[in-house]
Structure 1
Amino acid sequence: MSKIYIETIIKADIHKVFDLARDIDLHQQSAFKTREKAIAGRTSGLMENGETVTWRAKHLGIYQTHTSKISEMEAPYKFTDFMLKGTFKSLKHQHLFSQEGENTIMTDIFEFESPLGIIGKLFNRLFLKNYLTKFLLTRNKLIKKTAEFSI
């Protein structure tokens, strides 16, 4: 299992950052390069506990679908989504939030496992972990920009 850990400091209220992190429309904006679109389940607005969303996106030149579900939510401090169906063997994304003065610390803990045994592990190490880290950083940059701009 591979793990990505990212902390983003955002000069904005925790409630605003929490909502932006679960905003499907904002996520689609951040993933414009992969043409990511919500196609089933909740397809716009803010994800809530127990809801699912199915994404369609072009990753590595191939259109793929991925269905995830919010399995846990404690507003505005955390929510967790996990893959129900998709190309990964497993995927879990924890979103954690804490307020420190005027800043919100947004923490992503992204755990994933590729299929195909040793070949999948090698692919993770050589390419996929870096690719997914860049994907998450792009998303976080837009959340930060949006939250700080609308103060």
Structure 2
Amino acid sequence: MPRIELRTEIKADKRIVFDLSRSIDLHKISTEHTNEKAIAGKTSGLIGMDESVTWRAKHFGIYQNLTSRITEFDRPKYFADEMVKGAFKEFKHEHHFAELNGGTLMTDFFDYKSPFGILGKLADELFLKRYMTELLTERNRIVKEFAESEKWKKFLTE
């Protein structure tokens, strides 16, 4: 099973970083290039334990739907979302938050299985792991940008 691991240092309080990371509205901003929209479940605001969201986005020229659910939640240290329905055979995305030099270290672990057996494994090696890493890196860049400025106040109350 492929694993993507990303570490992002953010000069902001971990409660702000944690909540921005579960903001449906901020996620929409980070995925504008895929025309991603929340179409069912929790479609705006902050997603929490046992809540789900269904996303519709264009990847590789094809519109796809993906539903994920928050399966673990320990604010402001950790949460995980897992695919309920979608293009992957399965995935789990862990989000960890730790204090670091007066700011936050945000660590993502994204474990997934591609469908289609050997063809899925070939797709992982050729392009899918790189594509998913780029999507997650852009998401983290947006979280960092909003957390380190006053922009976070558009999505969170103090």
User: Shorter-chain TM-score: what band?
Assistant: over 0.9
**Does 2:101 align with 1:101?**
yes
Deviation at 1:95, TM superposition (A): 0.3
Paired residues for 1:1-151 under 5 Å? 1-150=1-150
SS in 2 for 1:49: coil
Residue ranges of structure 1 left out of the alignment (5+ in a row): none
Whole-angstrom CA distance in 2 between matches of 1:57 and 1:112? 18
Whole-angstrom CA distance in 2 between matches of 1:6 and 1:51? 24
Residue type matched to 2:116 in 1?
L
**Which deviates the most, 135-144 or 98-107?**
98-107
Deviation at 1:102, TM superposition (A): 1.4
Whole-angstrom CA distance in 1 between matches of 2:128 and 2:100? 32
Aligned residue pairs total 151
After TM superposition, the runs of 4+ consecutive aligned structure 1 residues lying more than 4 A away are none
SS in 1 for 2:148: helix
Identity %: 53
Deviation at 1:101, TM superposition (A): 2.9
Residue ranges of structure 2 left out of the alignment (5+ in a row): 153-158
Whole-angstrom CA distance in 1 between matches of 2:72 and 2:109? 14
Residue type matched to 1:51 in 2?
E
Whole-angstrom CA distance in 2 between matches of 1:93 and 1:79? 9
Whole-angstrom CA distance in 2 between matches of 1:115 and 1:100? 38
Residue type matched to 2:139 in 1?
R
User: Cα RMSD (Å) of the superposition?
Assistant: 0.8
Residue type matched to 1:5 in 2?
E
Residue type matched to 2:21 in 1?
A
Deviation string 1:88-126 (CA, Å, 9 cap, x unpaired) is 001100000001231100000001111000000010011
Whole-angstrom CA distance in 2 between matches of 1:97 and 1:125? 29
Whole-angstrom CA distance in 1 between matches of 2:13 and 2:98? 10
Q: Which residue of 1 aligns with 2:156?
A: none
